[in-house]
Amino acid sequence: MKQIITGMMAAVIFLALLAYTRGGTGLLLTGLYNGGQIIWQVLPLILIAFAVAGLLQTVISKETVSKWLGKESGIKGIFLGALAGALVPGGPYVFFPLAATFLVSGAEIGTVIAFLAAKNLWTLSRLPIEIALLGSHITLVRYAVTFIFPVLLGVLANVLFSHRVEAIREQIQKLQKVEKAS
C-alpha cells in the first residue's frame, strides 16, 4: 500500500511541476481545482460503497457467503458471482470493495473473478447508453461474444489459484487494517 501511495504522490508531483512549467500558477491551480471537483463528485459514492461493504461483512455470516459463493457452492457460486457483477451498479469505488468483502467473507476466488469480469463485460446499467451510441446489433454481438468469459475465468481462477485463496484473503485483511489505522 505504501508503494502505491508513494507512486501516486510521485505522479502528482510530476504532473504539478509539468502544469506549473506549462502554464504557471494558474494552470496548476486549475488542475488542483479540477481534481477537487472530481473528489467532491465521487466522495458520496465512495463513502456509501465502503459503508455497504463494511455492513455486508457484519450482517452476512461467513457461513452464508461460503454456502452461496464459497467452495461448497461450486459452479453455482461462479454463476451467482457473474450475475451479481452484471447487476451491481457503479464504478470501481463500488465493486472493488464488494469484491474484497466477498473474498474476505468466504467467497471462492473464482466467484470473485467471475464477479469482476462480469462487472467489466456485462454491466447492465450501461446497456441503454451502449445501444444508443453503438446500436443494438454491435451491442448484442459484444454481449454474445463475451457471454462465457466471466464464468470461464471464474472456473480457471479456481483451478489455478484456489490453493492461494487464504493468502490472498490475509493480504486483503492486512490492506483493510492499514486503511482503518490511517
Domain count, the chain: 2
Provide the pLDDT for residue 61.
77
Q: Which amino acid is at 174?
A: K
Domain span including residue 66: 60-181
Residues 6+ apart with CB under 8 A from 116: 85, 95, 99
pTM for the complete prediction?
0.72
What sign results for the dihedral spanned by CA atoms 21, 23, 24, 27?
negative
- Average pLDDT over every residue of 138-160: 96
168 shares its domain with 136: yes
Give domain status of residue 49, yes or no: no
Provide the pLDDT for residue 94.
82
Residues 6+ apart with CB under 8 A from 142: 130
| Grid cell in block for residue 52 | 455497504
Provide the pLDDT for residue 29.
96
172 shares its domain with 86: yes
At 179, the pLDDT band (50, 70, 90 cuts) reads low
pLDDT at residue 113 above 60?
yes
Q: Are 118 and 78 in contact (CB under 8 A)?
A: no
Q: Give percent above pLDDT 90 in the chain.
A: 53
